[in-house]
Amino acid sequence: MGSVREPQQQRGWVMSHLSLTAVSSRASKSRSIFRKISYRRVGVFAAISDFALILIASVATGIGYHALAFETDGDVGSFCAIGSFCGSIFVIFSKSLELYQPDALLSSRAQFRGILIAWGSALLFGFSILFLLKTGAHYSRGSTIGFSLVSFVLLVASHSAVRVNLRRALADGSLAGPRVITIGDPEELAAKPALRLLRAHGTREVGRFELSPAADESHSSLAYDLAVVDSGIRFAQSQRAEQVLLAIRWVDTARRDLICERLRALPLPVLLLPDRFVSSVLFQASGQPYAQTAIEVQRAPLSRHDMTAKRIFDVVVASMGLVILSPLLLTIGIAIKLESAGPAIFRQRRKGFNGEVFGIYKFRTMTVLEDGPVIMQAQRNDHRVTLLGRFLRASSMDELPQFFNVLAGEMSLVGPRPHTVAHDETYSRSIDNYALRHHVKPGITGWAQIHGFRGATTDPALMDQRVQRDLWYINNWSLWLDLRIIARTVVEVLRFRNAY
């Protein structure tokens, strides 16, 4: 049977695999220093902490020893230089010994042995260089011994604190990391508990969906698998998942392709996890139980850097637009109120990124405010459109309030135009790949609009052409393309085509 573990259930499940069932409810709710740090960045935190502690130990022991023995503070600059040099060497050695790997940070024995080797090597290398360069005159033997011992104690204590806090964060489920859902065969899922996924891939599982057994290839099992995948898609959307992990046998290519085709409805990367056979081969090759790799069978349309750049561009341009156009917006609002009864601006439900429903802002151009399961698109010479509304629709000025949607993060300046929820559901059933339009944020204008596809589209063939242009934009996005579309939108609006 297919199943999904809710986040609350998942948290307890992770605890059981950590053998931390004895942790009290108070301990599970205690705060951890890693509450806002992702699993894979814990090592970076530990490395920075090690460097800082070695630098502090060098300065403190150097000043302290010279103050006690010689009634002078010594050369603070030399202490900082030696501490920085030894700290850098220690971090390099520790990284080569893989001491900063998250699973290694959980092992007290591996940490103590690793610190002893790395710190001893760093001291030997560091002071050998100082001796050869004859630059160690300001650092006495007493301060050297004190620096070596104090640093070692601080490093052991620091890594112990990291281990305790990391275990606590794993236990109470507070560790940051990409939210994922896992879909897979019962056998593969059983071999991949949530903690193993966390250690191997740095992910935080929020849901788990079980397909039919891999050996069952009947027509009913395939239909069941697709239903499970559809449930996973809805769950991923509701829980704002950031990745999808696929745990099925690699030799089952037909099943994998069928599931991946279904998962194209999500604008998320899909990673194919190593199956049990591949995992055993990787373990034999590396000797590390969590040395695994995953194959990205579907990538997100835009990378994090792309989304950040696009978001900054949207916020800057939308803010400038609202400031410059504020007198025009105010004038249009007053004119609408004077012409007919009703609000100047109304909201209508649309589907946006990842199929999430939001309220789009528009200047009211009709005598009705339709937002239900059935909405009649505006037609040429539609009696519902007001006199001012005709001009606003023809000039696309009715879309100007959507700058507020852009600032709210619900829309982008450029992207596929969002349709009403009622029309969206109709088109998704009749047009292939329609759902892929939701892989990016909807836009005030788009590639389809500058090619003449504005306003209502009742002809399915024309709507299919609009969808194809939207998908081309998604697959070829760049900031330069957004600038081109915005420039051409101005020209297209002046033509007053296909908008009524």
- 374: tokens are 């059935």
173 vs 175, more confident? 175
User: Which amino acid, one-letter code, is at 365?
Assistant: T
Q: What does the pLDDT average to over 430-438? A: 79
Q: What does the pLDDT average to over 374-379? A: 58
pTM given for the model: 0.64
User: Which amino acid, one-letter code, is at 396?
Assistant: S
319 vs 19, more confident? 319
CA angle 438, 444, 450 (to 5 degrees): 95
Question: Which candidate, 68, 8, 494, places its Cα nearest to that of 207?
Answer: 8
pLDDT of residue 21: 32
Note the pLDDT tens digit of each residue in 9-61: 333 333 333 333 333 334 444 455 666 666 667 888 889 999 999 999 888 88
pLDDT of residue 486: 93
pLDDT of residue 323: 93
Encode burial over 377-406: b for 16+ CB neighbours within 10 A, e otherwise: ebeeebeebbebbbbbbbebbbbbbbbbbb
Look over the chain and give the mean of its residue pLDDT values, rounded to a whole number.
Answer: 79
Q: How far is residue 225's CA from residue 184's CA, in Å, rounded to a whole number?
A: 10
Distant-in-sequence, close-in-space partners of 6: CB < 8 Å, separation ≥ 6: 207
Q: What does the pLDDT average to over 335-349? A: 88
CA angle 351, 298, 470 (to 5 degrees): 40
Note the pLDDT tens digit of each residue in 228-237: 999 999 899 8
Note the pLDDT tens digit of each residue in 381-429: 667 788 888 888 888 888 999 999 999 999 999 999 988 777 777 777 7
**Total number of residues shown for the chain:** 500
pLDDT of residue 69: 65
In eight-state DSSP terms, residue 20 is: -
Distant-in-sequence, close-in-space partners of 147: CB < 8 Å, separation ≥ 6: 57, 58, 61, 62, 82, 83, 139
Looking at the chain, the whole-number percentage of residues with pLDDT higher than 70 is 76
Q: How far is residue 87's CA from residue 122's CA, in Å, rounded to a whole number?
A: 8
- 349: tokens are 């439900």
- In this predicted structure, the answer to whether residue 4 has a pLDDT above a threshold of 50 is no
- 209: tokens are 């969906």
- In this predicted structure, the answer to whether residue 500 has a pLDDT above a threshold of 70 is no
- In this predicted structure, the answer to whether residue 372 has a pLDDT above a threshold of 80 is no
Question: Which candidate, 146, 127, 56, 54, places its Cα nearest to that of 94?
Answer: 54
Which of 57-61, 175-179, 489-493 is predicted most confidently?
Answer: 57-61
Instruction: Out of 132-136, 312-316, 345-349, pick the least confident.
Output: 132-136
pLDDT of residue 31: 56
Which of 278-282, 429-433, 486-490 is predicted most confidently?
Answer: 486-490
Which residues share a beta bridge with 295?
272
pLDDT of residue 485: 94
Phi and psi (nearest 5°) for 444? Answer: -70, -35
User: Which amino acid, one-letter code, is at 124?
Assistant: L
Write the CA distances from 297 to 93, 154, 196, 264, integer angstroms.
35, 44, 21, 10
Q: What does the pLDDT average to over 178-190? A: 87
The three-state secondary structure class of 138 is coil
pLDDT of residue 174: 64
- In this predicted structure, the answer to whether residue 325 has a pLDDT above a threshold of 70 is yes
Phi and psi (nearest 5°) for 409? Answer: 85, 5
pLDDT of residue 385: 82
pLDDT band of residue 216 (cuts 50, 70, 90) is low
pLDDT band of residue 8 (cuts 50, 70, 90) is very low
Q: What does the pLDDT average to over 74-101? A: 85
pLDDT of residue 410: 93
